[in-house]
Amino acid sequence: MTAIRNRVVSAMALCCLIVVTACSATYRNHGYAPLDEDMQNLVVGVDTRATVDDTVGPPSLSGMLGDGNYYYVRSRVREFGMFRPEVVERQILAISFNEDDTIANIERFGLEDGNIVPLSRRVTDSSVISNGFLRQMLGNIGNINPLDGLN
């Protein structure tokens, strides 16, 4: 009787442990942004694009407009149970260059510096929304050509 009771208690403890660990938050890290200690080796106006590549490595993103600026992006995402993943931390390190390829400016931005950009969705209006199934089927009766079936 005690052996059965011990097994039941062990099974219940295991089930409780599984439930507790299943509801814990998990974190994922994406991207890379150099630390401040690594950035202290770079001097604005002196170091070039090549020294940035050697010191902290090439970025995953560069300027979209052809200006060649470097952008290092790192994000930390929290996933908790069935809820939508949430970005809890984001760092962006922007290094801009002068025309002679020397560093013009080094800036670091965080999640709190960002602006929410509303996205819009444009959908072409369809004529089948107001028509029911029978109306669509009966509307095609006049469009059938019996000679099309002979080919």
Q: To which H or E segment does residue 130 belong?
A: none
Q: Are 97 and 107 in contact (CB under 8 A)?
A: no
Q: Are 34 and 41 in contact (CB under 8 A)?
A: no
Q: What is the pLDDT of residues 34-57, one digit of tens each?
A: 988 888 888 888 988 889 988 888
Q: Where are the domains of the chain?
A: 23-114
Q: How far apart are CA 106 and CA 36, in angstroms?
A: 11
Share of the chain above pLDDT 70, in %: 77
Burial of 34: CB neighbours in 10 Å, binned 0-12, 13-18, 19+: buried
Tell me the pLDDT of the chain averaged across its residues. 80
Q: Which residue has the higher pLDDT, 81 or 37?
A: 37
Q: What is the pLDDT of residues 84-97, one digit of tens each?
A: 889 899 998 889 89
Global confidence as pTM: 0.61
